[in-house]
Amino acid sequence: MDRSRRTGFPAWGLALLGILGAGPLAPAPAQEVKGLVLDRQTRKPVPQAYIGLLDTNREIVKAVLSHDDGNFTLAAPGPGSYYLYVSQVGYKGQFDGLYELGRGGLLEVEVWLPPLPFELAPVTVTGERRVDALAVVGFYERKERGIGTFIERDELERRGSVRISDALYGINGVQVPEPRPRFGSPEGLLNPEVYIRRGANVCRPAFYVDGAMVSDGNEPVRPDDYMTTTDIEAIEVYVGQLAVPLEFNNGGACGTVLIWSRHAERRR
């Protein structure tokens, strides 16, 4: 049985505790990743952290949330090379790999999440401290992971698009048809629906605004009904259910669109 051990924990926050591989005559149980998520400052467990297992193409193959005691277990789909990504709101996400997971192997890790620093608001009379809104909701950690499409405020301004549907047009895997006349009112137009295309299949994504689900994908998704791009700080688009972060995965939709507004208050 091969076994390797690395002591301590490196700057990026993942401590490799051990890799166990089954011997040639041993049965081949599911390959597993087990670990513990901890706050780097308080050294306390971090519950409900997102843990994603990614293949060499950085596609998510499995994801779970940590338990109340910070522990988690991930069953890998098979032996091979994997990345590990861990995040939680209010912390800097950790991404590392590649890890080689052998047939029937076990990878044990400790994940130390550094809290995001608080920053004073530029102008305040109350002394309230707050962090960057997009950092609080985990936008930058998900963007760093490299899965999905991320559009920030400056890009929206460069494009000059007023409608959200225009900003989504041209994203790989996203389909935005032309607006259709309203029933009984040829002068008016329904705002266009947004679809996810996966090969020959087309379906509706789930739609969130400031973290709250607006549509679970069973109803038409028309983002232009809610706001214009002038109201938006950032957009996230995920094509395919496995690509969707677990905290925004309703288990039914084939993708997800996240809208983060400029006006929502997200203070700690």
Domains of the chain: 3-115 (2.60.40.1120), 129-261 (2.170.130.10)
Contacts of 52 (CB under 8 A, 6+ apart): 60, 62, 63, 84, 85, 86, 145, 245, 246
| 173 contacts 259 by C-beta, under 8 angstroms | no
pLDDT higher than 60, residue 126 = no
- Please give the C-alpha separations between residue 90 and each of 93, 114, 133, 172, 264, in angstroms, as whole numbers: 9, 9, 10, 30, 17
Give residue 235's pLDDT.
Answer: 94
pLDDT attached to residue 16: 58
CA distance 37 to 223: 36
The predicted model gives 152-170 an average pLDDT of 87
Residue 146 has pLDDT above 70, yes or no: yes
Q: What pLDDT, in 10s, does the model give residues 5-38?
A: 332 333 345 555 554 443 333 444 568 999 999 9
Q: 6-15, 32-41, 61-70, 142-151: which range is least confident on average?
A: 6-15
